[in-house]
Amino acid sequence: MEMQLSMVVLEVRDIHRSIEFYRQLGLDLPDPPAERPISIVRMGSGVSLLLVEGFAGTNDPTWQRPTGGYQQLLEFYAGKDAGVDAMWEKLTAAGHHGRMAPKQTQGPYAAMVDDPDGNVILLTSDEAARVDGEEGA
């Protein structure tokens, strides 16, 4: 069997605040059930994004939330350069920390914004990140 990435799990501080951020990004995350702080959406790429509050600390007694920096970037394809610009404006206008304004990098045209828990969201127009196979969206 081929190993495949099926889900990205983010341990969040405030499930409702995180859901709001990812909805602003364009994901259709459902509200969590009252008895369980979890929300999951399966994206067109086949990969699911799961937001959960309290799982790591409850199940791993050695877990500690990182206190600085970041170890990963979640890349979201935003279409053309104008899509990157528009999403940057939307998220930073909503008060989310802009880490890198839209610009042409050594690779793709891109921007970086922090989600409410400090995870870095890379917004890009890089066709290599495209999963639907259509050209020029």
Q: Please, what are the averages of pLDDT over each run of 10 residues along the chain (137 residues)?
A: 86 96 97 94 92 91 86 89 96 97 92 94 84 59
Global pTM reads 0.84
N-to-C CA span, the chain: 33
Which CATH number, 3.10.180.10, 3.40.50.10480, 3.40.718.10, 3.30.565.10, labels domain 7-129? 3.10.180.10
Among 89, 69, 108, 75, CA closest to 24:
89
DSSP 108: S
Instruction: Give the tens place of pLDDT for each residue, 96-134.
Output: 999 999 999 988 999 999 999 999 999 999 877 777 666
| Domain ranges within the chain, ordered by starting residue | 7-129
> What pLDDT score was predicted for residue 3?
76
Among 136, 135, 113, CA closest to 26:
113
Maximum CA extent, the chain: 47
